[in-house]
Amino acid sequence: MEEITDRCFVYVYTFPNGKVYVGISKDVAMRHRKHMEDARQRPRGLVHRMFIKYGVIGKILPTTVFEGTRAECQAHEVELIRVHRSNVCEWGEDANGYNTTPGGEDQYHSHKAGKTLKQLLSTVPEFQDWASYRKKPKRKLQPRPQPQ
């Protein structure tokens, strides 16, 4: 018998430009707060930078579109990302959203996405500011003290 704690939800953010971000969570309200916190304090993800770019931090809410088991939600997330064409790593400039993986917690594609995103960031105008924000300054190496 499935327990309540096994329940999961698929949610969708729809941005003012009509593009979407699809995600899954056991607690959509908590996940929304985390997305907003990340966008304000440490916007490393593409979706967080788009919250900033379009000025919607705290102004748009996720819409819960599906409830089911974790496995069902993962499958539904993958399907919605495919249907909406929201995976920028797959669709590039023609993507209709800000997902960076095909969904379903696909770790292989998460790792592979970094390489593809680097290529996209240099060519897709919408992502230019995110690309410059992500560049980390090079640290100067300090000489190690010599043992005496």
* Residue 143: pLDDT band with limits 50, 70, 90: low
Q: Over the stretch 104-113, which tens digit does the pLDDT of each residue have?
A: 875 555 556 6
Mean pLDDT, rounded, for 53-63: 93
pLDDT at 111: 59
Question: Hey, what are 8's tokens?
Answer: 């999961």
- How many other C-beta atoms can be found within 10 angstroms of the C-beta atom of residue 64? 13
Select the highest-mean-pLDDT range: 18-22, 45-49, 137-141: 18-22
Percentage of the chain modeled with pLDDT above 90: 52
Q: Which among 62, 72, 88, 61 has a CA at the least distance from the CA of 8?
A: 72
The structure's pTM equals 0.78
Domains in the chain: ranges and CATH: 4-131 (3.40.1440.10)
Strands, E, within 1-148: which ranges? 7-14, 20-25, 63-69
How would residue 56 be classed by pLDDT, with cut points 50, 70 and 90?
A: very high
pLDDT single digits (tens) 82-120:
999 999 888 888 999 999 888 987 555 555 666 676 667
- Average of pLDDT values for 18-37? 96
- pLDDT category of residue 65 using cuts at 50, 70 and 90: very high
